[in-house]
Amino acid sequence: MFLGIDIGSSSTEAALISEDGKLLAVAVRNAGTGSRAYEEVVRDVLSEAGTTMDDVRYTVVTGYGRTLYKEADRQITEITCHAKGVRYLMGRVSTIVDIGGQDSKVIKLDEDGNVKNFLMNEKCAAGTGRFLEVMTRVLGCSLEDLSDMADRSTRFIPINNVCTVFAESEVISRLATGEAPEDVARGAHVAVAKRVMGMCSRVGYSPKVVMTGGVALNSNMVDALSQELGLPVEVPPHCQAVGAIGAAVAAMETYKKIMGEES
Amino acid sequence: MAEENALTSKQLLNELTAKHYEGALQAKAEGKPVAWATSICPDELLAAMDITTVYPENHAAAIGARKEAMKFIEQAEGDGYSSDICSYARVNMGYVDLKHADAQDIPMPDLIFSSTNICHTVLKWYENLAKKLHIPLILLDMPFNHTYEVSDNATKYIRGQLENAIRQLEDFTGHRMDYDKLAEKMDMNNATCEWWKKATDWGKVNPSPLNGFDMFNYMALIVCMRNSEDGHKLFKLWYEELKQKAEEGKGPWNSAEEKYRIIWDGIACWPHLSTTFKTLKKYGVNMVTSTYPSSWYKVYETNDLDGMARSYTGNYANRNLDFGEDLMSSLIKDFGVEGVLFHSNRSCKLMDFRCYEVQRRITDKMGIPSVIFDGDQTDPRVFSEAQYETRVQALVEMMEKNKELKRRGDLDV
Q: pLDDT tens digits for B131-154? A: 999 999 999 999 999 999 999 999
What's the average model confidence in pLDDT over A241-263? 92
Share of chain B above pLDDT 70, in %: 98
| pLDDT grade for B1, boundaries at 50, 70 and 90 | very low
Q: Does the beta-carbon distance from A77 to B363 stay under 8 Å?
A: no
Indicate if the pLDDT at residue B345 is higher than 50: yes
Mutation target to probe the B interface, by most B beta carbons within 10 A, among A64, A79, A115 is A79
- If phi > 0 it is left, if psi is from -120 to 50 it is alpha, else beta; for residue A153 that is beta
CA-to-CA distance for A210 and A86, rounded, in angstroms? 8
Indicate if the pLDDT at residue B2 is higher than 70: no
Give A98's strand partners: A105, A212
Enumerate the residues of chain A whose CB falls inside 8 A of the CB of residue B390: 64, 77-79, 103, 120
Show which residues on chain B lie within 8 Å of chain A, measured between beta carbons: 344, 356, 363, 369, 372, 374, 382, 384, 386-387, 390-391, 393-394, 397-398, 401
Count of domains forming chain B: 1
Helix boundaries (H) for B152-254: 152-173, 179-200, 212-224, 229-247
**Cα separation values, A107 from A158, A175, A231, B345, Å:** 27, 36, 16, 23
CATH 3.30.420.40, chain A: domain bounds? 2-85+241-262, 93-237
Indicate if the pLDDT at residue B313 is higher than 70: yes
A110 Cα to chain B: minimum distance (Å) = 12
Whether A4 and A81 have beta carbons less than 8 Å apart is answered as: yes
Q: Return the closest-CA partner of residue B113 out of B52, B184, B64, B58.
A: B52
* pLDDT, tens digit (0-9, with 9 covering 90-100), for B51-101: 999 999 999 999 999 999 999 999 999 999 999 999 999 999 999 999 999
How many residues are recorded in chain B?
A: 413
Higher pLDDT among residues B410 and A54, named by residue? A54
What's the average model confidence in pLDDT over B246-254? 97
Q: How confident is the model at residue B363, as a pLDDT?
A: 87
Whether A145 and A170 have beta carbons less than 8 Å apart is answered as: no
Whether B94 and B302 have beta carbons less than 8 Å apart is answered as: no
| DSSP percent split of chain B into helix, strand, coil, nearest 5 | 60, 10, 30
Per DSSP, the three-state class of B212 is helix
Q: Is residue B6 part of a domain?
A: yes
* pLDDT, tens digit (0-9, with 9 covering 90-100), for A65-76: 898 899 999 999
Q: How confident is the model at residue B5, as a pLDDT?
A: 66
Checking DSSP bridges between strand A95-99 and strand A104-109, what pairing results, if any? antiparallel
Domain A93-237: what homologous superfamily?
ATPase, nucleotide binding domain (3.30.420.40)
Q: Return the closest-CA partner of residue A82 out of A158, A149, A4.
A: A4
* pLDDT, tens digit (0-9, with 9 covering 90-100), for A20-59: 999 999 999 988 878 899 999 999 999 999 999 999 999 9
Enumerate the residues of chain A whose CB falls inside 8 A of the CB of residue B384: 123
CA-to-CA distance for B187 and B131, rounded, in angstroms? 34
The whole domain housing B42 covers 2-408
Checking DSSP bridges between strand B339-345 and strand B260-265, what pairing results, if any? parallel
ipTM: 0.78
Helix boundaries (H) for B8-84: 9-29, 44-48, 56-65, 69-78
Q: Does the beta-carbon distance from A115 to B401 stay under 8 Å?
A: yes
* Cβ neighbours for B336, distance < 8 A, ≥ 6 positions apart: B204, B206, B261, B288
**Cα separation values, A189 from A24, A63, A132, A222, B183, Å:** 34, 24, 8, 9, 66
Q: How confident is the model at residue A262, as a pLDDT?
A: 75
CA-to-CA distance for B356 and A109, rounded, in angstroms? 19
- Kindly provide the b/e burial profile for residues A80-119, where b requires at least 16 CB atoms within 10 angstroms of the residue's own CB: bbbbbbbbbbbeebbbbbbbbbbbbbbbbbeeebbbbbbb
* pLDDT, tens digit (0-9, with 9 covering 90-100), for A88-146: 999 999 999 998 877 789 999 999 898 888 888 766 677 788 888 889 999 999 888 99
B67 Cα to chain A: minimum distance (Å) = 21
Mutation target to probe the A interface, by most A beta carbons within 10 A, among B372, B388, B393 is B393
**Cα separation values, B296 from B53, B332, B335, Å:** 17, 19, 18
Residue B163: other Cβ atoms inside 10 A: 12
Q: Is residue B300 part of a domain?
A: yes
- Does the domain formed by A2-85+241-262 have CATH 3.30.420.40? yes
CB < 8 Å & 24+ apart, contacts of A253-259? A253/A84, A254/A58, A254/A60, A254/A73, A254/A74, A255/A2, A255/A57, A255/A58
Q: Is residue B413 part of a domain?
A: no
Enumerate the residues of chain A whose CB falls inside 8 A of the CB of residue B382: 123
Q: How confident is the model at residue A127, as a pLDDT?
A: 76
